[in-house]
Structure 1
Amino acid sequence: MSQENKEELQSETQVTKEETPQTNEAAAEAEAIENEFDLLQGEMTSLKDKYARVHADFENIKKRLEKEKYTAVEYANEKFAKDLIPVMDALHMALSSTASIVDSAEHLEKLKEGIELTLKQLTTALEKHGVTMVAHDAPFDPNIHNAIQSVDSDIIDTGQIVQTFQTGYKYKDRPLREAMVVVAN
């Protein structure tokens, strides 16, 4: 072999040797990228699964809260109704007690006493739940009073309530029924 051929062969060998490490590095890099891709794909699958579970939990909680809300609204007056049951009992007792009383004067007195106690019991139950009577002695307020008549008066100041025809009621600050009143001019 001539010197030139040897140099040429040597040069080709060097090129081959140089290409081999690059090819090995590229293959190793491709394998590393593929492994990283597989890891990321597995992580993505895991995150999708977690997302699906969290979303399902959220939907279940949302449905449960909706159901609880409707139940709460449906049974919101339960305490109020329970507090009115003793009033009903008192009225039933008043009716049943009339059969045993013979004297009409005594009967009227007992009936009046029973009605007063029942009214007091009902007023207490209503106040317990925020229902109050509109004040009769307060100045006229168009938000809670309905003036059905006005009268001239030298004794009572203008705008003062002279007489109440029908009691008004409020639930907390909202009027349930306006009081029907006569107002002084």
Structure 2
Amino acid sequence: MSENKENLKNDENLEVDEIAKDDESFDNKEELSEVEKLQNELSEITDKFYRANADFENIKKRLEKEKISAVAYAGEKFAKDFLPIIDAMEEALKLDYGENELAHKINEGIKHCVDMTRRAFEKHGIVEISNDGKFDPEVHNVISVIESSEHEKDEIVQVYQKGYKYKDRVLRASMVVVAK
């Protein structure tokens, strides 16, 4: 772009010089000054044009990136809305049904639904956040800190709510308790 601008300025200067040589009326400084003013004005307008064109190209590139991102993460809202459902099903699996055979059959159905949901999540890039080891502020929310001689400082002791990622974005951070 700057090459075009320089070429245009050089061409303008050559034309003005040629006119000045051919026409003896340019001996007058006022007329030459007027040509220089017009030349400067043309240069400013040309500069504004190139800047506006560059701004347009930058906006076009940014919008293209946003479009690609919007398409790539189109399912994010749906995935967020589905997280409480899988949480509820997982909580149902933790219940003790005692000797009730019907309740055990229902529990097997719920387990099957949870497994299918996890496979669907994985298929579409939704993965559970690992809660083993140290606290990571990027993917964990600390809801409590406890003293523990069994765990190192900032080590996750308990998980209150699982977190999930959708591709490289955090859908929901894990809610955890860490050791002091």
State the structure with more CA Rg: 1
The TM-score, its normalising length taken from structure 1, stands at 0.45
The TM-score, its normalising length taken from structure 2, stands at 0.46
